Structures are given as C-alpha cells and as structure tokens.
Amino acid sequence: MSRKAAVTALTALAPISWGSTYFVTTEFLPPDRPLFTGLMRALPAGLLLLALTRKLPRGAWWWKSAVLGGLNIGAFFPLLFLAAYRLPGGVAAVVGSVGPLFVVGLASLFLGDRPTVRSLLTAVAAAFGVSLVVLKAGAALDLVGVVAGLLSALSMSAGTVLTKRWGRPEGVGALALTGWQLTAGGLVILPIALLIEGAPPAMDSVNLLGYAYLAFGNTAISYFLWFRGIGRLSASSVTLLGPLSPITAAVIGWVALGQALGPVQLVGMAVAFGATLAGQLTPRTPAAAKVQPFSSPERNRQELSMDLDVSSVRR
C-alpha cells in the first residue's frame, strides 16, 4: 500500500466513526440535550489531548486555534445538532452532504485551487448518492433546520480549508493541534449550553458509556486522524471522504436497528462510495502546482520532504 493510500485509509476512519453518532445518541444518551452532547464530545477530549501533549499555542496560534476550533467544533456541533433536531435525519444528512461543494469554492478562494469539472462532478455525485441512501419520500422541510444544516456544512468546510492553509507550527504534531481545536470549540459551546439547556442532566452508567465513546473514540481519535489527513492530503480529497459517514449510519441502522435497505439505498451507497473513491484519484497530467504557504517557508520544505502528493492540491 502506498503512503497516500495508507493516509487516506486512516483518515477515512474518522467519517466512518462519525457515522455511529446517531445510533449512540439515540440509544445511549439522554434525549433533547444536543448542546450538552456537543460539549461532552469536545471539551473532555480536548483537555485529555492537552494533558497528553503538554503543548499550548504560542503567538498567532492562540487566535488561529480559536478560529479553527470555533469553525470545526464550536459552531459546527451546535448547528449540526440543531439541524438534526429540526429536520428528519435523511434531510439533515443531504443538507450536510453539500460540504464538498463548499470546500471546492473555498479552496479556490483561500488555497488557489482552481475548481475542475471532475472535482465538481464528484462533489455533486457524492451529494446525490447520499440523498438516495437517506432521503425518504414526503420528508418535511424546516427553514431553520435547512439553514442550520447549510451553515454547519459551511463552517466545517471553512475549518477544513483553513486548517490546510495554516498547517501547524514547527515542532507541533497533529495530536496537539487537535487538542487545541477541541478545547477551543468546547469552550465556545460551554456558555451556550448552560444558557439554553441549563444544568447537566442526570446520567446513568449507559449514558456515561455513550458520552465516553463520543468524547474519546468518536471525537479525540477521529478528529486527530481527520486533521492529520488534512495536513497530508488535498482539502477536496479529505472532504470527499465525508459520504462514508451517512453510508456507515445507514449500515448501522440496518444491522442494529432493523432499518430496511432497498435497491434505491444500495444504488445510492454505490454512487456515494464511487464518488468518494474518485475524489482520491490523482490526475495523470496535473498542471504545475504551487505549494500554498502554511505557517512558514520551513513548513513548506517539511511538507515537501514528507513526499506529499502536491499535485493533488491543484485538482
């Protein structure tokens, strides 16, 4: 297996893990506490990673970490749960699946990546495949829920592109950067959760087990793999792994909850999975690529020395 394929496979574990969020939330957690759930996903995981890495931001990375944490975690989690509560699950997943299209546009603006017909088609195909998997006839639309879903996709897409643009400071690994963002995002959610939902709910052992899984397996490890992948793959390649999340959720629903998977859903899975694979392919004759600066010229040389697939940045 090539280095890029190995990195892609590890990064793909993140959206696969996120596909279990709906099942864990509905089966293991107290109902109607989306902000508290977002807080419990982010802050304990962030504090754990800070304790493990013992590294704090320096200089400009204080505000950069706050911006990235706010986009990837602090805004994304509440908006995502708001959309999930206001919309049927299938509609929320379809609205969120436009993320790759947002990334294509934002990458053009911030990274200088020129959108190609192939990148646009794969993004559209991914959203279409997801819609076949999860969208049901007669699904109701709620304006607030749709706007929240679109904003959550835009927030995560902007965070992905800025994470790619800024990279990370010299001597700081992906684990520390993940800890900074999860902590910053959790601190954004904390006052909002207390103001809107009040004190934490009473919890039993099943609830605690669910929150422990969300915080450490579903968030700390998964976001570490996600941010590590962003540093080594193109932004569009990473975001086109996103359809693996609703595909995983559909499979879990079929296996664990007895939800039916008909021919339309199976075709949708094939289309979404095919778009995901297509998004990882490197053009045969890429145009000359310009490496976007991360935090310093030294960082650019470090990225080149790691034999990254620079040509994919121009996709």
Which tens digit of pLDDT belongs to each residue from 121-145?
888 888 888 888 776 655 566 788 7
Tokens of 253: 């629903």
What is the C-alpha to C-alpha distance for residues 200 and 36, in angstroms, rounded to an integer?
7
How far from each other are the two terminal CA atoms of the chain, in whole angstroms? Answer: 22
Higher per-residue pLDDT: 66 or 100: 66
pLDDT score of 50 more than 50: yes
Higher per-residue pLDDT: 304 or 42: 42
pLDDT score of 1: 60
pLDDT score of 311 more than 80: no
Give the torsion sign (CA, 282, 287, 292, 296): positive
pLDDT score of 139: 56
CB neighbourhood size of 82 (10 A) = 21
pLDDT score of 312: 36
CB 252 within 8 A of CB 288: no
Burial category of 16 from C-beta neighbours within 10 Å (exposed 0-12, middle 13-18, buried 19 and up): middle
Measured CA angle at 14 (ends 12, 17), to 5 deg: 115
State how many domains the chain has. 1
Q: How far is CA 173 from CA 132, 207, 270, in A?
A: 39, 32, 35
Which tens digit of pLDDT belongs to each residue from 160-179?
999 999 999 999 999 999 99
CB 103 within 8 A of CB 239: yes
Model confidence, pTM:
0.81
Tell me the residue range of the domain where 17 lies: 3-314
pLDDT score of 290: 41
Picking from 21-25, 209-213, 250-254, 287-291, which range would have the lowest pLDDT averaged per residue? 287-291
